């Protein structure tokens, strides 16, 4: 499928021919997790398992009818969701939450834990984070969790942008004292003995490390083995912004790191908003994988327009979603599949699905589907100009794309658009979404909703 061939009908909900089913794995989990229940204050330590930086793989597309048990955030935005055992954590900018079918409001700001089966909020988990949470990652011990964002304190104690918390109580873990980052963290992955963090920071411990760094996962000290020299902040005639990493992901074997964000060079080489890094070496090195397709500008108001990335479970391809504006031939307001293949320049997408002028913010690959979210109105809309062009299908706020053809699947629950769906996260039981709105599939679901497998 070429970048401009997304027209016509909508295929059914079956995976592409020849795709193998894979064991269920949970994105952002670095170790086997302990089974957690509401009100439990201790965790049983389980043996560690290899890193798994992919979404759980599903046998089919999830139901379009969201579950009734999910809790509600009553303000702000849910930016990140992760499950450890039977506990789900959601992070964001919200300050108040409540259980489904309950009027009792809890003042638990920005980071909440709840039961994955019942949705009941665990009031025993109290982190009291003073700023927005944008990144969550399970620690290898199965008993703690890494948190990243724009905060400067946790439970009244200093924690600048990164913290490691007891997964049952929210209390900061003794011994983890992260080096100071000059600005916020947007995403993170634990890869072996390195906690990779990406964000808008320009220095780490007073040393220049723009947008991307590694920390020791036990102590929080800076790890000099990831020093990729991101530079070349993009600009337009009306807007400028500092170098940053908007999002990142790691292949299941931990060998490759893909970063997207506001940069034009990495390790002294041209890399426009996207780069593939080899983590198998120490220090990490830049690969020859490169594309110029994200070099053009999409909007004068947004120097950088890449927003989300997810790598497939087999580690051979990934999808990037973008904001932007309507420009023929550019990857603005689109979801694009990229295959790693041989490390080489001038890479081209395998397929592109355009919204026709609306932002996509999040993406999750589950096997039979590539789920995308934002404030889009349509998919299959390469000729749309803030309108439904030939072949466009309505997919408000969230949709699903066939992984092989690049065309929209028939799954269409619909969602209040708002700023957009900021998070899509798959577990073995279904699909979580987080956003700034409270209506999904015509029902009230405050900032978070769960679509179970049928």
Q: Which two tokens stand for residue 307?
A: 């927003």
Could you tell me if 274 and 245 are in contact, meaning their C-beta atoms sit under 8 angstroms apart?
no
Q: Flag whether 73 is in a domain.
A: no
C-alpha–C-alpha distance, residues 422 and 360, integer Å: 9
C-alpha–C-alpha distance, residues 16 and 187, integer Å: 30
* Statement: residue 39 has pLDDT above 50: no
Give residues with Cβ within 8 angstroms of 346, minimum separation 6.
290, 291, 292
Check whether the bond before 283 is cis (ω within 30° of 0): yes
Cross-strand pairs, 309: 320
Write the DSSP assignment of 219-283 as a string of letters.
Answer: T--EETT-----B---B-SS-B---EEEEEEE-TTS-EEEEEEE-SEETTEE--SEEEEE-SSSS
Q: How many CA atoms lie within 13 A of 94 on its CB side?
A: 29
pLDDT range class, residue 12, cuts 50, 70, 90: very low
Return the beta strands (E) in 269-407 as ranges: 269-270, 274-278, 285-286, 306-311, 317-322, 334-339, 351-354, 360-365, 370-374, 378-379, 393-394, 398-401
> For position 53, what pLDDT does the model report?
56
Q: Which two tokens stand for residue 385?
A: 């100009």
Q: Flag whether 276 is in a domain.
A: yes
Encode burial over 311-350: b for 16+ CB neighbours within 10 A, e otherwise.
bbbebeebbbbbbbbbeeebbbbbbbbbebeeeeeebebb
> For position 49, what pLDDT does the model report?
35
How far from the centroid of its chain's Cα atoms is residue 401's Cα?
Answer: 17
The percentage of the chain sitting over the pLDDT mark of 90, rounded to a whole number, equals 84
pLDDT range class, residue 166, cuts 50, 70, 90: very high
* Statement: residue 434 has pLDDT above 50: yes
Name the 3-class secondary structure at 314.
coil
> For position 431, what pLDDT does the model report?
98
How would you classify the pairing of strands 274-278 and 285-286?
A: antiparallel
Q: Flag whether 344 is in a domain.
A: yes
Average of per-residue pLDDT across 15-37:
33
Largest CA distance in the chain: 58
Q: Flag whether 297 is in a domain.
A: yes
Could you tell me if 181 and 204 are in contact, meaning their C-beta atoms sit under 8 angstroms apart?
yes
Q: Which two tokens stand for residue 311?
A: 């790598």
Domain count, the chain: 1
Give residues with Cβ within 8 angstroms of 56, minimum separation 6.
24, 25, 26, 27, 366, 426, 427, 428
Q: Which two tokens stand for residue 435?
A: 């956003």
C-alpha–C-alpha distance, residues 189 and 198, integer Å: 9
Q: Flag whether 268 is in a domain.
A: yes
Q: If we measure between CA atoms, which residue out of 203, 201, 302, 212 comes closest to residue 258?
A: 212
Average of per-residue pLDDT across 228-254:
95
pLDDT range class, residue 307, cuts 50, 70, 90: very high
> For position 443, what pLDDT does the model report?
98
Q: Which two tokens stand for residue 123?
A: 């009031």
C-alpha–C-alpha distance, residues 420 and 360, integer Å: 8
Q: If we measure between CA atoms, which residue out of 408, 407, 438, 433 comes closest to residue 422?
A: 433
> For position 331, what pLDDT does the model report?
97
How confident is the model over 252-287, as pLDDT tens digits? 999 999 999 999 999 999 999 999 999 999 999 999
| Unique residue bearing structure tokens 């795709």 | 19
Q: If we measure between CA atoms, which residue out of 27, 44, 61 comes closest to residue 408?
A: 61
Q: Flag whether 283 is in a domain.
A: yes
The parent domain of residue 369 ranges over 1-22+57-64+237-412
Q: Flag whether 327 is in a domain.
A: yes
Could you tell me if 239 and 303 are in contact, meaning their C-beta atoms sit under 8 angstroms apart?
yes
Q: How many CA atoms lie within 13 A of 179 on its CB side?
A: 19
C-alpha–C-alpha distance, residues 123 and 41, integer Å: 11
> For position 329, what pLDDT does the model report?
84
Average of per-residue pLDDT across 321-328:
86
How confident is the model over 371-424, as pLDDT tens digits? 999 999 999 999 999 999 999 999 999 999 999 999 999 999 999 999 999 999
Q: Flag whether 265 is in a domain.
A: yes
For residues 53 and 161, which has the higher predicted lDDT (pLDDT)? 161
């Amino acid at each position: 499928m070429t970048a401009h061939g997304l027209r016509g009908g909508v295929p059914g909900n079956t995976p592409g021919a020849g795709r193998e089913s894979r064991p269920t794995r949970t994105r952002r989990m670095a170790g086997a997790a302990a089974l957690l229940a509401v009100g439990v204050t201790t965790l049983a330590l389980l043996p560690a398992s290899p890193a798994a930086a992919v979404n759980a793989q599903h046998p089919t597309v999830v139901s379009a009818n969201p579950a009734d048990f999910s809790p509600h955030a009553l303000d702000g935005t849910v930016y990140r969701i992760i499950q450890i055992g039977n506990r789900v954590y959601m992070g964001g900018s919200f300050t108040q939450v409540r259980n489904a079918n309950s009027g009792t409001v809890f003042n638990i700001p920005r980071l909440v834990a709840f039961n994955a089966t019942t949705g009941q909020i665990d009031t025993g988990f109290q982190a009291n984070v003073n700023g927005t949470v944008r990144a969550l990652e399970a620690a290898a011990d199965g008993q703690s969790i890494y948190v990243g964002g724009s905060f400067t304190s946790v439970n009244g104690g200093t924690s600048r942008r990164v913290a490691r918390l007891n997964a049952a109580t929210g209390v900061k873990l003794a011994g983890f004292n992260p080096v100071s980052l000059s600005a916020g963290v947007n995403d993170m992955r634990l890869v072996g003995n390195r906690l990779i963090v990406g964000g808008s920071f320009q220095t780490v411990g007073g040393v220049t490390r723009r947008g991307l760094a590694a920390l020791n996962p036990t102590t929080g000290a800076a790890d000099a083995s990831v020093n990729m020299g991101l530079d070349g902040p993009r600009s337009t005639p009306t807007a400028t912004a500092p170098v940053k990493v908007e999002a990142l992901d790691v292949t299941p074997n931990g060998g490759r790191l893909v970063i997207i964000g506001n940069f034009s060079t990495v390790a002294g080489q041209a890399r426009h908003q996207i780069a593939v890094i080899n983590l198998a070496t120490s220090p990490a090195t830049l690969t020859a994988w490169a594309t110029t397709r994200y070099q053009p500008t999409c909007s004068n108001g947004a120097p950088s327009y890449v927003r989300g990335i997810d790598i497939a479970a087999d580690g051979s391809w990934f999808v990037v979603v973008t904001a932007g504006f309507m420009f023929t031939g550019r990857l603005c307001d689109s979801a694009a599949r990229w295959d790693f293949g041989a490390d080489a320049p001038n890479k081209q997408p395998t397929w592109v699905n355009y919204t026709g002028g609306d932002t996509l913010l999040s993406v999750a690959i589950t096997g039979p589907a590539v789920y995308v979210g934002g404030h889009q109105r349509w998919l299959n809309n390469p000729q749309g100009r803030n309108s439904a062009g030939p072949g466009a299908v309505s997919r408000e706020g969230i949709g699903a794309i066939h992984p092989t053809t690049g065309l929209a699947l028939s799954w269409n629950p619909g969602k209040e658009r708002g700023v957009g769906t900021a998070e899509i996260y798959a577990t073995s039981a279904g699909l979580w979404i987080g956003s700034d709105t409270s209506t999904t599939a015509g029902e009230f679901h405050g900032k978070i909703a769960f679509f179970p497998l049928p």
